[in-house]
Amino acid sequence: MSGASSGISPLRRLVRAELAAGIAGLRLFIACVAIAAFMLGAVWMLGAGLSRALSENGTIMLGGDVAVEVVNAPLDADLVVRLADLGTLSEVSELRSTAIAGDARTPVEAKVVDDAYPLVGEIALAQSADGVPTLAEALSEREGLPGTVVEPALLSRLGLSVGDTMTLGGGTFEIRAVLLREPDRLSAGFLVGPRVIVSEAAGRAAGLLSSQGLVDYRYRLRADDGDAQALAAAVAALEPERGWELETPADAGDRVRETVARVTTFLGIAAMVALAIGLTGAWAASRVWIGRRVRTIALYRLSGAEPGLVVALHGVLVAIAAGIGIALGLAGAGVLAFVLMDLLAARLHLPWQPAALASAGALAALTLAIGIAGACASALSGAARTPPGAAMRSADTIPTPRPRDAALGAAAIAAAILLAILGLPDEILAATAAFGLVLAAALLAGAGWLVARAAARVKPRGFVARVALQGLDDPAKAAMRAVAIGIGIAGITAVVGAQRSLDTALRAELPDRIPDLVLLDVQQAGIGPLTARVEADPLLGGLQASPFMRATITAVNGVPAAEALVREDKDWVISGDRSFAWAAEPTGAELLGGAWWPVDYAGPPLVSAEEDVQEAFDLVPGDTLTFSVLGRSFTAEVANIRMEYHRTFRPEFLLVASPVPFRDAPHSWIVTLEGETDAAVDALVADLARDAPGVTAIDVRRIVDDLTRVVEGAGLASLAIAGLLLVVGALALTAIVAADVDSRERQALAFTLVGASRREIAAARLAEAGTIGALAALVGGGAGLAGSFWLASAGLRVDFAPGIVALVLPLALGLAAALAAGIVGGLGAAPRGRGQLVRRLAG
């Protein structure tokens, strides 16, 4: 053979002939690749889609280039004028209120917007009989009635439709359109009810912006000259003494971003594990395939094929199979990622570009292609080294690869892992995870090597023990099998352990369903009648009323709060307005230090700081805190430190002050109560709708049920990830077991001829496979648990709580691997059935 033309033509002919015969022998290989591609692709596409949607839409989420927020009282009018001088200004106020229609009422998240809203992004309203109105049209006054747009949930809760009217605050509104998407939704916090948008004039007329309610006032600015940074600096310079929370697009949706980063990291590490297991499976499956073709390859060689042609032929066939696997996996991943992205983007009220998925999919394909090339290198190198003489012998083991090819393969796998690391949002976490996987592989290889060395030293007399040990005494083979089985166990255990920890943490964050009802904006005059109403109903009780105000901590011992901070992770205590109350008597929370003030204390303000505040500033009783309430600044001595549990819907206040002078400030109350039956709670809510329309009733029962559904959904999703990993693991295991089947069958035949029974052969194989399985379970499981501890604490930042599943799983997987290998290599390998043995003997 000489020249390129004569080299290409035979290759084409051979490839065509092989394809015509089919590549069914590569089914296992395709399955391993497809499922790894599915996991890697789905995770990367989803992660990339979400990250890009969040990073590209910071301005939209914030509602402008710069935003400032104050609570309770709006900014002074002259400050608003000065802000308006800096750029285009939009004022938006948000508050919780109650929408009422007839006897039905539901808490809502009201948003009062000016004509400039939205400064950026678009409001999406649903098509109605009159077409799609603009926001301004929908909110305008028609025949004496102002308009409103509402989320679909409101319509279903109140049994209304577009065109009906409802009461909000002290006004009546006509529902003009259904709100589908609100560009700045992520700038709002936790929403307890459906969104209702009204115009500023109508909201003011309905009394929604009264000084006693809890209102978030947001002022968004757009830089007219496009210089957002200069605008932010100019706005920051105007900060009033009462303080405000200033945000730029980089800060917008930070909680969502953090959640997305956390989830993407978890999923990404799961995908990396899937990649590692999938490549292990592809490695084993390619060796099985080449192993079964050794005679065919030798015949090609006998017929004059050069090693290069053999490699090219098998490389092309493997590439075609890999292409099919990658295409199948990524197609499934693409569909899943598209559906999930659409769902999540709608939930987050964000626009997104499907193109973001394509680039992530392409990167996943490239990573897989490189990794698979590396995984198949040893089998292909072995194919190249198959001597023509192998056709004459009953050889079906692949010759060992050339060291150079093995090194190239390892380098390709390393490159694929590097790409996988770079594909994750937190490269350091990803690199640590990859390092952990490599370390686990090294530990497994070392343990396998040690077991082989030990097995070689022992010479037991019995057949079963001798054959079992003989199967273990090759150090390289034992190390490889320990890695092949154990790396899957390690990865799956790590992910399952982390998943259980995350699930436990999410469930722990679920609030207790106590109280059943939270009433906001209860006025001073309403407390008495409400208490009487609750006392009159034996099915209601547990009433607690607290003043509800907001405060911003501005200084500690005279040092500006930001400088006084000693714990970065507690910076949220100085970020904007925080919950504040006054109380004469102890609130019932545990005191960690200091003492409560006397009931009749009327001196200078004292303050009780929650534990988070204490930790943020390393406070001790006697220190002073300066904070602003309702636009006024106060400095108070810290009387004590309180501990709250953050797990209930009871009001928990960061700061609680002595009554004077706050008792006389305008404020509303927050009331919590419990009901023995849902009917009793429902009846109270109906009475309040009639007697106290200004009170917002938050039905904790519904919120807890909603949260439980979310947590259970997250739990199910992460369980599905772990389940998929198990499937990849099972496929890889099948490939690993299959890799040995032929030689096991030959050995079983020889044992049968010399008088070994099926039971003895099976017992020997089980003992051998059980040793490797136990080794993989112990070392891989141990490494996996260590990995899940790291993943939970460093990656997901939750307490490590792997649960019994993560402890039992490695043993179960090791046992499953041992049983599979034992049964296939033992019972299954011994000839059975009429004619089987003679056929094999002849072979």
Interacting residues with another protein (CB under 8 A): 394, 397, 461-463, 466, 470-471, 474, 743, 746-747, 749-758, 760, 831, 834-835, 837-838, 841-843
**Cβ 779 to another protein, closest distance in Å?**
24
Nearer to another protein, 456 or 660 (CB): 456
**Cβ 455 to another protein, closest distance in Å?**
12
Nearer to another protein, 474 or 537 (CB): 474
> Which residue from 700, 669, 579, 691 is spatially nearest to 107, judged by alpha carbons?
700
**Cβ 835 to another protein, closest distance in Å?**
4
The two tokens of residue 301 are: 């060689």
Within 13 Å, how many C-alpha atoms sit on residue 208's CB side?
33
61-96 exposure pattern, b = at least 16 Cβ within 10 A, e = fewer? bbbbbbbbbbbbbbbeeebeeebeebbebbbbbbbb
772-801 exposure pattern, b = at least 16 Cβ within 10 A, e = fewer? bbbbbbbbbbbbbbbbbbbbbeebbebebb
**Cβ 466 to another protein, closest distance in Å?**
6
Nearer to another protein, 52 or 466 (CB): 466
Distance CA 543, CA 398 (A): 78
Partners of 197 in beta bridges: 111, 149
**Cβ 26 to another protein, closest distance in Å?**
26
Distance CA 631, CA 95 (A): 18
DSSP H helix total and E strand total for the chain: 25, 21
Nearer to another protein, 570 or 746 (CB): 746
**Cβ 733 to another protein, closest distance in Å?**
22
- Tokens 């990649």 locate to 275
Distance CA 27, CA 713 (A): 33
473-486 exposure pattern, b = at least 16 Cβ within 10 A, e = fewer? bbbeebbbbbbbbb
SS3 (DSSP) at 635: strand
DSSP E strand boundaries for 514-667: 517-522, 540-556, 559-560, 578-582, 590-594, 606-610, 624-629, 632-643, 655-657
Amino acid at 88: T
**Cβ 753 to another protein, closest distance in Å?**
5
Distance CA 333, CA 408 (A): 29
Nearer to another protein, 481 or 500 (CB): 481
H or E element that contains 181: strand 171-181
Nearer to another protein, 715 or 831 (CB): 831
Partners of 607 in beta bridges: 638, 657
Nearer to another protein, 454 or 753 (CB): 753
In degrees, rounded to 5, the angle at the alpha carbon of residue 743 between the alpha carbons of residues 468 and 301 is 150
**Cβ 754 to another protein, closest distance in Å?**
5
Q: How far is CA 331 from the centre of its chain?
A: 22
**Cβ 56 to another protein, closest distance in Å?**
60
Nearer to another protein, 156 or 836 (CB): 836
Phi/psi for 331 (5° steps) reads: -65, -45
Nearer to another protein, 347 or 834 (CB): 834
**Cβ 458 to another protein, closest distance in Å?**
14
Distance CA 260, CA 345 (A): 12
- Tokens 């004496």 locate to 144
Instruction: Report the DSSP pairing between strands 245-247 and 104-113.
Output: unpaired
Residues 724 and 701: beta-carbon distance below 8 Å: no
Nearer to another protein, 274 or 749 (CB): 749
Is the backbone peptide bond immediately before 249 cis, with ω within 30 degrees of 0?
no
Residues 345 and 53: beta-carbon distance below 8 Å: yes
**Cβ 467 to another protein, closest distance in Å?**
8
**Cβ 410 to another protein, closest distance in Å?**
26
Instruction: Report the DSSP pairing between strands 66-71 and 88-101.
Output: unpaired
**Cβ 749 to another protein, closest distance in Å?**
6
Nearer to another protein, 251 or 742 (CB): 742
**Cβ 302 to another protein, closest distance in Å?**
17
* 3-state secondary structure string across 726-737: HHHHHHHHHHHH
The two tokens of residue 524 are: 């001073």
Nearer to another protein, 131 or 755 (CB): 755
Q: In sequence order, what are the residues at sequence separation of 6 or more whose Cβ sits closer than 8 angstroms to the Cβ of residue 556? A: 564, 617, 619, 623, 624, 625, 626
Nearer to another protein, 458 or 838 (CB): 838
Phi/psi for 749 (5° steps) reads: -65, -45
Nearer to another protein, 303 or 757 (CB): 757
Amino acid at 523: Q
**Cβ 397 to another protein, closest distance in Å?**
8
**Cβ 825 to another protein, closest distance in Å?**
12
Residues 160 and 213: beta-carbon distance below 8 Å: no
SS3 (DSSP) at 241: coil
First to last CA, the chain: 33
